[in-house]
Chains A and B, each alone.
Chain A
Amino acid sequence: MSANDDQKIREFINRLVAMSPQPPPFPEEVIVTTPKKTSRVNPILIFAGAAALVLIGAAIPILLSGGGTGPAGTTLPVVTQTTLTPGTTAPATVPPTTTPAETTTTPEVVSVPQPVVVFLVQTPDNSYTGNPALVPFATSVPSSGGSSDAMFSSLVRDALQLLTNPDLVPPPGFETSIPAGVAVLDVRMADLTSTPTLLVDMNDEFLKGAGGLLADVTMLNQLVYTATQFGAAKVLFTVNGQAIEAYGTEGIVLTDPVGREDYLDQLNSIIITEPVILGGDELPRVSGLANVFEATVSLQIVEQDGTVTFEDFTTATCGTGCWGEFTFTLDTPPLTSSSLIRVFWNSAQDGSASDVVTIPASQFEGGGWDLLPASS
């Protein structure tokens, strides 16, 4: 790195920063008018701004009429149910539809499907370590809203309860490490540290683990990745409201909060962290973490008959012994609902595709993957 290169980068950065707009005005109105609310809003909740607007929009008329604070004779709007398209980490913005209602009508609490992601497991092809790969699945859960704090906790709780639902049917080729009987009792935000932390309360079955060290860790990873999909950094597990020391068959210590990075090395060298969304406003993307030779991650689009219709590779932000982020933006390939997306790295020994994760593209189309049978 020469001084000349440094100078070039400095000039580049100055050109970048020179495009800065004027600072936005001080957000005074929000702070002054809702002091209690803003003081309680957890820092990670801004993710849900769009969805929160929908639900808070639903709550306002309810409070106005139910609380008796609205002027007599006022015609209150009723918010009708709105279906949201599941997103990746931030729900899509869909304004509520309002219609006039009779003064005597008592608005009902609205249950709006909210997009969430659950992480399932795949055994990779040609795996070097035998460790499982995590793959996120976009789906939706009903949510009845409430305060933004409550809505956030309930969304995470619903996602975890879906993941631990004994009736859950993983898509073909995928499975869950979580045994039937393990249940999530409650989820709430912790005010313990400056790191955004979720308290996840489990039932007694959780302590038994999943039947082996690797299965135990995989179960932990599934729960942690699903719980932290909206940005919380750590998860502190409790059982029946009590702190726990260890968990599982081998006694994994759980006295401290667990983050996504804590058990990365017990996973496949390539994991997918965001669902691939087809048919949205943006081009489909495949994003994840990899710890692979020379940080080079490869991707193929494969049709059902085995024809490879697209190939590409990218460089993760770190590799050969460290984990890095990678992203493919699929702007040119003919990606269809029958396509399979294969993500892998090429062995330095023989060039073969290694630790291959295969994602069926169709599963993320439309309203997300239906992980529960219709009858349940």
Chain B
Amino acid sequence: MGMITATGVMDNEQIYRDYSSELTRYATGLVGPFDAADVVTDACLKAFSSKSWHDVMNHRAYLYRTVLTVATDHHRSTLTRRVREMKTAGPEAAAPQEIDVDVLAAVNRLSMQQRAVVLLTYWADLPVETVADRMGISTGAVKRHLARARKRLQEWLS
């Protein structure tokens, strides 16, 4: 077990080095900058400890899906609270990275699935089929989420 585990950890470390930055940006789009690191850590632990992890062919896609699952399960209402706190506390209470409260408030109007679809479409530039595969939903569902997200964002952007 020791050798196998050691090898597994080394592989996982390399995979983590390859994808942790983009996963953190993806998680930021889903739950905001405050909890993105926690989501990525939880998601990686979840993926690395999964029995099916060693059979996974596309680690990147698997990790993206796991980040979305963790974000959905654990942080549904956190961003709402964070935005409220930020608005109450004012800009001087901002975290080290620059926080755009208006942008966070806007993204908070989207469901988690809508956020994921918008991010994968506009940030990762993925086609509908790949977005569907990465999220584990149908292409029809992707189009539906995207249409509704666009509508909501248009209201905010106009």
Interface residues of B in 65-107 (CB under 8 A from A): 66, 69-70, 73-74, 77, 80-81, 84, 95-100, 103-104, 106-107
- Give the distance to chain A from B2, nearest Cβ to Cβ, in Å: 8
Q: Do B150 and A9 touch (CB < 8 A)? A: yes
User: B residues within 8 Å of A by Cβ?
Assistant: 1, 5, 8-9, 12-13, 16-17, 20-21, 23-29, 32-33, 36-38, 40-42, 44-52, 66, 69-70, 73-74, 77, 80-81, 84, 95-100, 103-104, 106-107, 111, 113-114, 118-119, 122-123, 144-145, 148, 150, 153-154, 157
Verify A43–B66 contact, CB threshold 8 A. yes
Whether the pair A36, B1 counts as a contact (CB closer than 8 A) is yes
A38 touches B40 (CB 8 A): no
Beta-carbon nearest neighbor of A322 in chain B: B144
B114 and A317 form a contact (CB under 8 A): yes
Q: How far does the alpha carbon of A14 sit from the alpha carbon of B103 in the complex, in Å? A: 10
A282 at the interface (CB under 8 A from B): yes
Is there contact, CB below 8 Å, between B52 and A194?
Answer: yes
A:14-56 near B, CB below 8 Å: 14-24, 26-28, 30-32, 35-41, 43-44, 46-47, 49
List 17 other contacts, CB 8 Å, given A17-B29, A282-B81: A5-B157, A8-B157, A14-B123, A18-B98, A19-B100, A20-B24, A20-B36, A21-B37, A26-B20, A28-B13, A32-B5, A36-B1, A38-B45, A39-B49, A43-B49, A194-B52, A283-B81
Min distance, Cβ B126 to any Cβ of chain A, angstroms: 13
Interface residues of A in 84-105 (CB under 8 A from B): 89-90
Give the chain A neighbours of B9 by CB distance below 8 A.
28, 31-32
In the complex, which residues 334-370 of chain A have their Cβ closer than 8 Å to any Cβ of chain B? none
Find out whether the CB atom of B37 lies under 8 angstroms from the CB atom of A24: yes
B45 and A318 contact, CB distance less than 8 A: no
Contact status of A46 and B73, CB under 8 A, knowing A20-B36, A38-B48, A194-B52: yes
Do B28 and A46 have beta carbons less than 8 Å apart?
Answer: no
CB pair A30–B74 under 8 Å, yes or no, is no
How near does chain A come to B125, taking the closest CB pair, in angstroms? 9
Let me know if A15 and B24 touch, CB within 8 A: no
A21, B73: Cα distance in complex, Å? 21
Chain A contacts of B26 at CB under 8 A? 17
The B-contacting residues of A in range 257-311, CB under 8 angstroms, are 281-283, 285
A221 to B42, CA, bound (A): 30
Which residues of chain B are within 8 angstroms of A10 by Cβ–Cβ distance? 122-123
Q: Are A21 and B24 in contact (CB under 8 A)?
A: yes
- Whether A5 lies near B150 (C-beta < 8 A) is yes
Confirm or deny: A128 has a beta carbon within 8 angstroms of a beta carbon on chain B.
no
> CA separation between A8 and B157, bound complex, in Å?
7
Tell me, in angstroms, the Cα distance from A32 to B97 when the chains sit together. 32
CB of A3 closer than 8 Å to a CB of B: no
Offer 13 A-B interface pairs, CB within 8 angstroms, sorted by A.
A5-B157, A15-B103, A16-B28, A16-B104, A17-B26, A20-B24, A20-B25, A20-B97, A23-B40, A26-B12, A46-B45, A46-B73, A282-B81
A285, B77: Cβ atoms under 8 Å?
A: yes
Residues of B contacting A16 in the complex (Cβ-Cβ under 8 angstroms): 28-29, 100, 103-104, 107
Distance in Å from the Cβ of B143 to the closest Cβ of chain A?
Answer: 12
B30 to chain A, nearest CB (A): 10
A8 to B13, CA, bound (A): 37
The answer to whether A13 touches B74, judged by C-beta atoms less than 8 angstroms apart, is: no
Whether B49 contacts A19 by the Cβ 8 Å rule is no
Measured CB to CB, the closest approach of chain B to A56, in angstroms, equals 15
User: Whose C-beta in chain A lies nearest to the C-beta of B50?
Assistant: A43
Closest-by-CB residue of B relative to A331 is: B84
Shortest CB distance B50–A (Å) = 5
Q: Are B97 and A21 touching (Cβ within 8 A)?
A: yes
Q: What is the CA–CA distance of A79 and B42 in the complex, to the nearest angstrom?
A: 26
Which residues from A are CB-within-8-Å of B70?
46
When distances are taken between beta carbons in the complex, the residues of chain B under 8 Å from A317 are 111, 113-114, 145, 148
A69 to B98 alpha-carbon distance, docked (Å): 50
Tell me the minimal C-beta distance from A88 to chain B in angstroms: 8
Q: Which of B20, B66, B97 contacts A19 (CB 8 A)?
A: B97
Cβ of A1 within 8 Å of any chain B Cβ, yes or no, is: yes
The closest CB in chain A to the CB of B19 belongs to: A23
A325 CB–B CB distance under 8 Å:
yes
The 8 closest A-B pairs by CB, nearest first: A38-B49, A23-B20, A20-B28, A24-B37, A35-B5, A19-B33, A20-B25, A23-B24
Contact A24 B20 (CB under 8 A): yes
State in angstroms the CA–CA spacing of A47 and B76 once bound together: 12
- CB pair B103–A31 under 8 Å, yes or no, is no
Residue in B27, B98, B103, B148 whose beta carbon sits within 8 Å of that of A318 in the complex: B148
User: What residues on A are CB-neighbors of B148 within 8 Å?
Assistant: 317-318
